[in-house]
């Protein structure tokens, strides 16, 4: 009989303790809804950084239209990109728009890129060679939104000021392909 009483008492204590802890937990939830201490600083998810170990994934998620053939990121903030251009592309506006995309991505979406070296490379499969069509070596301070917008909307040559600020280089292949179409070349 004594063992039965001890057994029933332990079951009763277990049930009481379980119910008490449940009630205490629900009370804590109601107290939280009334207000209380909130953290002063919350992490800002809009700040993004390029990371060497995630570089390919980050660039793939950048929604670019032309494929990347080579990429390198230095810890000093230099991003080096070679973008592959089909030999059949005859519209400079597409190339300028792609360059504007990478300028915006590098300098306005990422906070640890200070320099972008971007080359548009023609991959001529018939001749089995790659040739640079157009390049730029831009610093973050020089890549203003106005210049990026000018590049995005350009269908011919950019202003001389923008070309100098972004340190753009047009190769002889560029002139060979686009000079007949663009009368503004000297």
Question: What does the pLDDT average to over 47-70?
Answer: 82
Q: What is the mean pLDDT of residues 85-104?
A: 89
The pairing of strands 78-85 and 115-124 is parallel
As given in the structure block, the two tokens for residue 54 are 């995630």
Can you tell me the distance from the alpha carbon of 112 to that of 94, in angstroms, rounded to the nearest whole number? 27
**57, two tokens:** 């994934």
Q: What residue segments make up the domains of the chain, in order of their start?
A: 53-178
The residues, ordered by sequence, that sit 6+ positions from 155 with a Cβ below 8 Å of its Cβ are: 91, 92, 93, 96
Give yes or no for residue 181 having a pLDDT over 70. no
Distance CA 104, CA 78 (A): 15
CB of 129 within 8 A of CB of 87? no
Closest CA to 134 of 122, 119, 154: 119
Q: Is 162 exposed, middle or buried (0-12, 13-18, 19+ CB in 10 A)?
A: buried
What's the burial of 107, exposed, middle or buried (CB within 10 Å: 0-12/13-18/19+)? buried
128-152: per-residue pLDDT in tens?
A: 788 899 999 999 999 999 999 999 9
Percent of the chain exceeding pLDDT 90 equals: 37
On whether the CB atoms of residues 81 and 68 are closer than 8 A, the answer is: yes
Give the model's pLDDT for residue 135.
95
- Output the pLDDT for position 78: 94
> For the chain, what is the mean pLDDT?
82
Predicted local distance difference test score (pLDDT) of residue 41: 55
The HSE-up count of residue 128 (CA atoms within 13 Å, CB side) is 0
The two three-digit tokens of residue 180, written as one number? 């007949």
């Amino acid at each position: 009989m004594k063992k039965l009483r001890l057994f029933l008492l332990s079951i009763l204590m277990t049930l009481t303790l379980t119910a008490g802890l449940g009630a205490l937990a629900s009370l804590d939830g109601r107290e939280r809804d009334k207000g209380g201490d909130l953290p002063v600083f919350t992490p800002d998810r809009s700040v993004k950084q390029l990371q060497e170990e995630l570089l390919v994934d980050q660039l793939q998620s950048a929604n670019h239209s032309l494929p990347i053939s080579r990429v390198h990121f230095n810890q000093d903030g230099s991003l080096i990109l070679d973008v592959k251009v089909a030999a059949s592309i005859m519209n400079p506006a597409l190339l300028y728009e792609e360059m504007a995309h990478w300028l915006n991505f590098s300098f306005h979406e990422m906070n640890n890129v200070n320099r972008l070296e971007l080359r548009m490379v023609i991959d001529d499969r018939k001749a089995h060679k790659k040739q640079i069509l157009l390049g730029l070596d831009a610093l973050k301070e020089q890549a203003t939104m106005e210049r990026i917008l000018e590049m995005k909307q350009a269908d011919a040559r950019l202003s001389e000021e923008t070309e100098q600020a972004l340190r753009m280089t047009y190769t002889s292949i560029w002139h060979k392909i686009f000079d007949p179409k663009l009368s503004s070349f000297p």
